[in-house]
Structure 1
Amino acid sequence: MSLARIHNMSISLDGFGTGEPQSLEAPFGHAGERLHEWMFATRFWDAGGIAGVDNAFAERHGQGFGAEIMGANKFGPPGWQDDPDWRGWWGPNPPFHTPTFVLTHRPRPPMEMEGGTTFHFLDASPADALAAARDAADGKDVRIGGGPTVVRDFVAAGLVDHMHLVQVPIVLGRGVRIWDGLEALEDAYDVETVSSPSGVTHLTFTRRTAA
Structure 2
Amino acid sequence: MTKVTAQMSISLDGFYTGPRDTRDPNDMSGWMRGPEAPGFFRITRWAVDAMAWRERQGYAGGEQSIDSEIIEETFAAAGAYVMGRRMFDAGEVPWGEEPPFRAPVFVVTHRSREVLERQGGTSFTFVTEGVERAIELAREAAAGKDVAMAGGGELLRQVLAAGLLDQLELHIAPVLLGDGQRLFGPSLGLGADDGIELVPTRVVEAPTVTHIRYAVAGRSKLVLDDRGASGDLVGPSADGT
> Do both proteins adopt the same fold according to a TM-score greater than 0.5, normalized to the shorter chain?
yes
Is 2:155 the partner of 1:142?
no
CA distance in 2, matches of 1:196, 1:87: 31
**Structure 1 residue 88, shift from structure 2 partner:** 4.2
Q: What is the aligned partner in structure 2 of residue 93 from structure 1?
A: 98
> What letter matches 2:210 in structure 1?
T
Pairing 1:29-68 to 2, within 5 Å after superposition: 29-46=37-54, 48-68=61-81
Given the alignment of the two structures, is residue 190 of structure 1 paired with residue 195 of structure 2, yes or no? no
Any conservation in 2 of the 1:190–1:208 contact (CA below 8 Å)? no
* Residue aligning to 1:2: 2
Question: 8 Å contact 1:107–1:121 — kept in the other structure?
Answer: yes
The answer to whether the 8 A contact 1:21-1:30 is kept is no
Instruction: Tell me, in whole angstroms, the C-alpha distance in 2 between the residues paired with 1:19 and 1:96.
Output: 25
Q: How many angstroms apart in 2 are the aligned matches of 1:116 and 1:53? A: 27
Greater gyration radius? 2
Q: State the alpha-carbon separation in 1 of the partners of residues 184 and 116 from structure 2.
A: 33
> How high is the TM-score relative to the length of structure 2?
0.73
Higher normalized contact order (CA 8 Å, seq sep 6+, divided by chain length): 1
1:123-154 per-residue CA deviation (whole Å, 9 max, x = no partner) reads 23322211111112222211111111111111
SS at match of 1:120: strand
Which one-letter code corresponds to 2:79 in the other structure? Answer: G
Q: Secondary structure at the match of 1:143?
A: strand
The amino acid that maps onto 2:30 is E
Tell whether 2:68 aligns with 1:69. Answer: no
Compute the TM-score of the two structures, normalised by the length of structure 1.
0.82
Task: State the match for 1:111 in structure 2.
Answer: 116
8 Å contact 1:2–1:142 — kept in the other structure? yes
The C-alpha deviation readout for 1:21-75, integer Å capped at 9, x for no partner, is 4442334434251121111222212463323332222222211322110111211
Q: Quick one: distance in 1 between partners of 2:16 and 2:156? A: 10
Matching residue within 166, 191, 195 for 2:171 = 166
Q: Which stretches in structure 1 are left out of the alignment for 5+ residues?
A: 78-85
Secondary structure class of the residue paired with 1:107: coil
- Aligned residue number for residue 13 of structure 1: 12
8 A Cα contact 2:107 2:134, kept in partner: no
CA contact (8 A) 1:152 1:179 kept: yes
